[in-house]
């Protein structure tokens, strides 16, 4: 890979946990050594790290993963600072600074915050510092969680327009029916998703279904992805040099604009609007905006400016967009002609409910 390319490397808990569940410092140091080699070549690297909860459990002497949310969050809080301490020490030995970034889904939903993260990462790069990202586990509850770190790493890759996303885990890649590593995937076919869902091998899927979902999102944004075993010697350097390592997923080279990618992949929809057949046709095939007249039903509570799902009458989502009207306003104007909006609401902010510039067909 050439200079200035951006690589996001996700390091899973299973990679950096030793058999007794404590942090495997030697392995972590080795990975940071490889990442430093990549940085020395002039590439930019963002690390998405897991392992905070595991590290915290180790420090607290917990034998089992706690069930209570506050215990998990306390473990994450203790573990995250330990983890960061190690990252910063090991990178420092190679002459690199680190910058910690802790995120939740809320940070991706809000476009201003989203753009701020992007600026911070860019500024860290300008100081030759390595952004080290994790979910902000101490504040995140189910509603505001990014999901897992596979998803978080694909969101980060999309946000910073990465050239490559590497997911490091404890299996050698996606395994086929005979338990051999699939070297290359050029399309997310039914067979591929089936391989990830149904573990046919003793070695298991290693959370492959969630990895593939995240990779689907990243490759659709034009990012090449790799799943590989983080415990294999020189794995990161081999991947960067294009050697046979893990499973590579071809990017689909999308042309979607940044704002549309944010609407489609990064923000979390707050609700749904179902539309009739005519509106579906107009949106899908005629590049039109969504008008109130085509709306059949409204689900969830959302405000003007939120991202919403757009579904057909059988509630199958086919688009996403930013709504100009809140859910309560839409309940009053659904099915109405644009000229009748003012009569129903007492005002009319926009003609379109979702303008075509703020709409993505999925």
Q: Name the one range near ligand GLU by CB under 6 A: 19-27, 28-36, 131-139, 316-324.
A: 131-139
Question: Shortest gap between Cβ of 132 and ligand GLU (angstroms)?
Answer: 11
Question: Shortest gap between Cβ of 321 and ligand GLU (angstroms)?
Answer: 29
In this structure, the number of other CB atoms found within 10 A of the CB of residue 213 comes to 18
The C-alpha atoms of residue 353 and residue 321 are separated, in whole angstroms, by: 9
Of 41 and 65, the one with the shorter C-beta distance to ligand GLU is: 65
Of 79 and 222, the one with the shorter C-beta distance to ligand GLU is: 79
* Site for ligand GLU contains 13 (CB under 6 A): yes
Q: How far from 55 is each of 14, 118, 147, CA to CA, in Å?
A: 12, 28, 19
Of 70 and 233, the one with the shorter C-beta distance to ligand GLU is: 70
Residues 6+ away with beta carbon under 8 Å from 3: 41, 42, 43
> In 50-177, which ranges are E strands?
97-103, 129-135, 164-169
Contact pick of 73, 98, 104, 134 for ligand GLU (by CB under 6 A)? 134
* Site for ligand GLU contains 206 (CB under 6 A): no
Are 11 and 31 spatial neighbours (Cβ–Cβ below 8 Å)? yes
The C-alpha atoms of residue 317 and residue 324 are separated, in whole angstroms, by: 19
In which element (H, E) is residue 119 found?
A: helix 111-126
* Site for ligand GLU contains 153 (CB under 6 A): no
Of 135 and 158, the one with the shorter C-beta distance to ligand GLU is: 135
Of 135 and 163, the one with the shorter C-beta distance to ligand GLU is: 135
Instruction: Compute the radius of gyration of the chain from its Cα atoms.
Output: 22
Of 1 and 139, the one with the shorter C-beta distance to ligand GLU is: 139
What is the footprint of ligand GLU within residues 15-54 (CB under 6 A)?
50-54
Q: State the residue for tokens 């990064």.
A: 266
Which residues lie near ligand GLU (CB under 6 A)? 12-13, 50-54, 76, 134-135, 137, 148-149
């Amino acid at each position: 890979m050439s200079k200035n390319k951006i690589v996001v490397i996700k390091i899973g808990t299973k990679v950096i946990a030793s058999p007794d569940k404590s942090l495997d410092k030697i392995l972590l140091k080795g990975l940071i050594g490889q990442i430093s080699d990549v940085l020395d070549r002039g590439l930019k690297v963002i690390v998405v790290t897991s392992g905070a909860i595991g590290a915290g459990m180790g420090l607290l002497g917990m034998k089992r993963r706690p069930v209570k949310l506050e215990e998990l969050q306390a473990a994450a809080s203790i573990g995250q600072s330990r983890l960061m301490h190690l990252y910063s020490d090991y990178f420092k030995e190679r002459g690199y600074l680190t910058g910690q970034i802790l995120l939740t889904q809320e940070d991706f939903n809000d476009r201003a915050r989203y753009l701020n993260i992007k600026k911070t990462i860019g500024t860290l790069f300008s100081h030759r510092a390595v952004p080290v990202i994790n979910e902000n586990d101490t504040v995140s509850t189910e509603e505001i969680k990014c999901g897992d770190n596979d998803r978080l790493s694909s969101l980060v890759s999309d946000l910073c327009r990465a050239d490559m996303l590497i997911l490091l885990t404890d299996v050698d890649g996606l395994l086929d029916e005979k338990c051999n590593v699939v070297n290359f995937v050029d399309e997310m076919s039914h067979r591929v998703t089936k391989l990830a869902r149904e573990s046919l091998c003793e070695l298991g899927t290693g959370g492959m279904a969630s990895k593939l979902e995240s990779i689907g999102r990243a490759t659709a944004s034009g990012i090449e992805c790799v799943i590989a075993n983080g415990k294999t010697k020189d794995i990161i350097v081999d991947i960067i040099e294009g050697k046979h390592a893990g499973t590579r997923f071809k990017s689909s080279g999308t042309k979607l604009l940044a704002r549309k990618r944010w609407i489609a992949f990064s923000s979390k929809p707050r609700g749904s609007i179902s539309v009739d057949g005519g509106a579906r046709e107009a949106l899908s095939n005629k590049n039109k905006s969504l008008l109130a007249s085509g709306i059949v039903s409204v689900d969830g509570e959302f405000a003007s400016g939120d991202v919403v799902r757009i579904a057909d009458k059988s509630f199958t989502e086919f688009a996403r967009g930013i709504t100009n009207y809140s859910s309560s306003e839409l309940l009053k104007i659904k099915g109405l002609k644009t000229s009748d909006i003012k009569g129903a609401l007492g005002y009319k902010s926009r003609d379109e409910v979702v303008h075509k510039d703020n709409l993505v067909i999925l």
